[in-house]
Amino acid sequence: MPDKHSLINVKEEDILNLTPKLEKLVCVTSSGVQSSIVGYNLLGIGNQMAHITAAMMISESASKDIKLVGYPPIQIGKPSKKAFFRTLCSRSNFCMTWSRSLEYRIWTKMGEGLHLYDNRKNVLYLNADILNGRLFKSLIAQNTSRLTDYYRKAASLFGLDLANISQWREDSIGVHIRLGDFARGQIGERYIGQAICRNNSPPLDYFRLALKRVEPCKLVIYSDESTKVIKKIIRFLEISNSTKVEVVSPYMSGLRTLYLMSRHRVLVQANSTLSTAASIISKSKAIVPIDCSPWGIHKLLNNFCEINL
């Protein structure tokens, strides 16, 4: 039974030093301080897959096998603290009984984005905030040649077999335009001429220039914008009348969307971990706005190319 001395806060820079001792690595997704645990929004599929990839790369950096648990990552705030600990115990495959004060401490620390190490059972609780630090970028850079394999394995843990996705490739172009990827008030006036990413979101001019480069015969737009806004976006993109345009429902599951995105010949990216995951998995051409991709992935993978506005 863990006591108050067995759970230790772990800094990101110390994680790799722990790997020789680890028996298990548990992926835990938290809300972070800014969102608060109560008001937590669940992590999207793109971030979940990156979280799992981080865990796999950390585990393989050790000289022994480390059991990975928490697929998909265990979510703080879904739906209650009691359910969280019940899931944590079942996924970890051993009984953990904590006092109420210790439960609160674990709950709070994970909610603050901290990693925790149980030095009695040699278990590391890897927080999803690992994706925001230097370690994940460093691991990606060291494992660039294997990144596609990691992501495909992560997808298989969700029940999605993408190992042979290239056999199902379509001669089509996908475009990922997320809700809020351009400022409100402008279609007509929505930051359409802005030359750089605003708050890490690409301007609409980027999407228009990208499509001019690839001249699609079939275009699939992935967006959670309203139908009214999507129609205005299509007009702004100046798509040829000969191009078949399809709009994917925003209510489709994340895994289904990932699968469809992975099948395109070219995928025009939002600054999104979901479309980034699709392009890593498929190895198809990915177009990104300059210096505006998660973890600077466009600088590491040959199938990513930038558009400079």
Q: What is the pLDDT of residues 165-219, one digit of tens each?
A: 777 788 889 999 887 665 444 444 444 444 345 555 667 778 888 888 887 788 9
- Cβ-based neighbour number of residue 124 at 10 Å: 26
Q: What is the pLDDT of residue 109?
A: 60
- What is the model's pLDDT at position 184? 44
What are the tokens at 252? 């489709």
In what order do the strands lie in the sheet containing 285-289?
Answer: 244-248, 218-223, 170-177, 264-268, 285-289, 304-307
Length of the chain in residues, anyone? Answer: 309
Whether the predicted pLDDT of 111 surpasses 60: no
pTM of the model: 0.80
pLDDT, residue 177, reads 85
The mean per-residue pLDDT over the stretch 38-51 comes to 68
Average pLDDT over residues 210-235: 83
- Of all residues in the chain, what percent carry a pLDDT higher than 90? 19
pLDDT of residue 24: 86
Model pLDDT, residue 173: 92
What are the Cα distances from residue 154, in Å, to 84, 103, 212, 223?
Answer: 22, 29, 34, 24
CB 23 within 8 A of CB 122: yes
Q: Per-residue pLDDT for 37 more than 50?
A: no
- Whether the pLDDT of residue 149 is over 90: the answer is yes
Determine the pLDDT at residue 200: 57
Domains of the chain: 7-142 (no CATH), 164-307 (3.40.50.2000)
> Are 267 and 282 in contact, with CB atoms under 8 Å apart?
yes
